[in-house]
């Protein structure tokens, strides 16, 4: 049986459209609000069609020295062009990008996970230094 970590794929986000890209300040002051954005398809746009789309993004923060990460949020993208007339007939499409704000008093790592309905699970991460 595979371990959970073996189910996730990763790559350089500049060459792979499925990798969640985390953007935030790399160094912050203790207790300061941290504005973070996570995007799938930052460099190469990910299709957002009924047949091929990002279903969700999930973001966790794992503080240094702690046993478990904190779940910052799960974001679902539910409009992919489908309507009662069939696939790709709607004018409504969500885009796999989120912005969230959190604060912490510890340094650690932010992990983002995305799920593509065709290509599975992908992960990206970014270290955060708290001074």
Catalytic positions, written as ranges: 16-18, 46, 52, 116, 119
3-state secondary structure the chain: CCCHHHHEECCCCCCCCCCEEEECCCEECCCCCEEEEEEECCCCCCCCCCCCCEEEEEEEEEECCCCCCEEEEEEECCCECCECCECCCCCCECCCEEEEEECCCCCEEEEEEEEECCCEEEEEEEEEEEC
């Amino acid at each position: 049986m595979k371990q959970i970590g073996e189910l996730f794929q990763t790559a350089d986000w500049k060459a792979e459209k499925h990798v969640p890209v985390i953007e935030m300040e790399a160094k912050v002051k203790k207790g300061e609000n941290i504005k973070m954005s996570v995007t799938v398809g930052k460099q190469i746009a990910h299709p957002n069609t009924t047949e091929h789309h990002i279903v969700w993004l999930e973001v966790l923060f794992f503080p240094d020295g702690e046993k478990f990460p904190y779940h910052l949020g799960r974001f679902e993208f539910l409009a992919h062009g489908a309507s009662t007339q069939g696939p790709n007939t709607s004018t409504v499409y969500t885009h796999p990008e989120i912005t969230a704000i959190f604060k912490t008093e510890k340094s650690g790592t932010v992990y983002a996970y995305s799920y593509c309905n065709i290509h599975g699970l992908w992960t990206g991460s970014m270290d955060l230094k708290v001074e």
